[in-house]
Amino acid sequence: MGWGLTNRIARMFPGKSGNSVMVAVDHGYFMGPTRNLESAGATIAPLLPYADAIALTRGILRTSVPPASTVPIVLRVSGGVTILKDDLSEETITTSMEEALRLNVSAVALSVFVGAPHEHQSLTNLAKLVDDGERHGMPVLAITAVGKELEKRDARYLALACRVAAELGAHLVKTYYCEGFSKVVEACPVPIVVAGGPKLATIEDAFALAHSAIAEGARGIDMGRNIWQSEHPVAMLKALRTIVHDAATVREAADAYQEEISVSLRPAATTAPRRRKV
Ligand code: R5P
């Protein structure tokens, strides 16, 4: 890998742990105004200081992230189908490499739909994007999408999908956590980050997902709904950081979450001089 490509990856995996906490806000590209992401800029702003990278489309980047921000950007460059269609796999490349370079992003991301009607198209999209990325020092993150078939998220399927993505040259892979996840990691020669999926019942469930994923070899998370659809998104993100970067347990992360909430709710100390008794 060339210096530029390696440098871009290094910026997304900062610090001693070598892991990454990516915040995904790219859902609108096929789902439209997802709950709590209707006003993307307002959702993104408080999270930016605590994200190692942020995953989004060029439309949301241009309109909803201040250009002075230094947070590495993972730019989604595939799309072309919406949730209104039964088959979500007919994606094409929707944003050029030239545009990705102009936007100064740290990686480009696309979905691959292994086993879906448009498997071939999505995999050749990946192969071409990798060729283009290699030419320009741009890492490619492949997302093993399952469309509406959430039951596909088992180790056998995900190991196959992640391996195929890596064989076609993806530099990073985003997939789902599943039972037997270590087998998915073992069979994938490039770093894996995990998505959160739909919002889980409790914050502890989300912490447990992140904790198990890291313990079984993931190099980070690329999570959306379980952060910004939670009651306290910043507290959630900061608590997840303790798991990904500091090997915190689920209990410790839950304590960090509670502590963050109590600090943010504490009234600011008053600086007004006390009245003297007369
Ligand atoms: C789908 O739109 C994207 O790949 C998401 O970035 C990915 O699913 C992560 O978001 P969430 O944690 O909400 O599943």
Q: What is the pLDDT of residue 233?
A: 98
Q: How far is the CA of 24 from the centre of ligand 1 (A)?
A: 6
Please name the amino acid found at residue 87.
D
User: CATH class for domain 3-201?
Assistant: alpha beta
- Residue pair 208/195 in contact (Cβ under 8 Å)? The answer is no
> What separation in angstroms does the CA of 260 have from each of 15, 113, 255, 266?
22, 39, 9, 10
Print burial letters for 156-172: b (CB count within 10 Å at least 16), e (below 16): ebbbebbbbbbebbbbb
Q: What are phi and psi of 171, to 5 degrees?
A: -85, -25
Nearest CA to ligand 1 atom 4: 143
Q: What is the pLDDT of residue 165?
A: 98
Q: What is the pLDDT of residue 270?
A: 52
Pocket-testing residue among 20, 26, 200, ligand 1, by greatest number of atoms within 8 A of Cβ: 26
| pLDDT tens, position by position, 198-238 | 999 999 999 999 999 999 999 999 999 999 999 999 999 99
- Please identify which residue in the block is written with the tokens 């991301």: 109
Q: How far is the CA of 151 from the centre of ligand 1 (A)?
A: 16
Count of CB atoms within 10 A of residue 74's CB?
A: 28
Q: Which residues are catalytic?
A: 174
Ligand 1 pocket residue status of 195, Cβ below 6 Å: yes
Q: How far is the CA of 118 from the centre of ligand 1 (A)?
A: 20
Rounded distance between C-alpha atoms, residue 153 and residue 198, angstroms: 13
Count of CB atoms within 10 A of residue 272's CB?
A: 5
- Please identify which residue in the block is written with the tokens 């060729």: 131
For the chain, the structural domain boundaries read: 3-201
Tabulate helix, strand, coil % of the chain (nearest 5). 45, 15, 40
pTM: 0.94
Q: What is the pLDDT of residue 266?
A: 78
Per-residue pLDDT of the chain (278 residues; tens, 9 = 90+): 899 999 999 999 998 999 999 999 999 999 999 999 999 999 999 999 999 999 999 999 999 999 999 999 999 999 999 999 999 999 999 999 999 999 999 999 999 999 999 999 999 999 999 999 999 999 999 999 987 777 778 999 999 999 999 999 999 999 999 999 999 999 999 999 999 999 999 999 999 999 999 999 999 999 999 999 999 999 999 999 999 999 999 999 999 999 999 988 777 665 555 555 54
- Our measurement of the distance from residue 107's CA atom to the centroid of its chain's CA atoms, rounded to an integer in Å, reads 12
Atom of ligand 1 nearest to the CA of 27: 2
Rounded distance between C-alpha atoms, residue 87 and residue 116, angstroms: 8
Nearest CA to ligand 1 atom 2: 27
Q: What is the pLDDT of residue 278?
A: 45
3-state DSSP assignment of residue 173: strand
- Residue pair 65/40 in contact (Cβ under 8 Å)? The answer is no
Nearest CA to ligand 1 atom 7: 195
3-state DSSP assignment of residue 165: helix
Q: What is the pLDDT of residue 78?
A: 98
Q: What is the pLDDT of residue 272?
A: 55
- Residue pair 114/156 in contact (Cβ under 8 Å)? The answer is no
Identify which of 256, 245, 182 has the alpha carbon closest to the alpha carbon of residue 212.
182
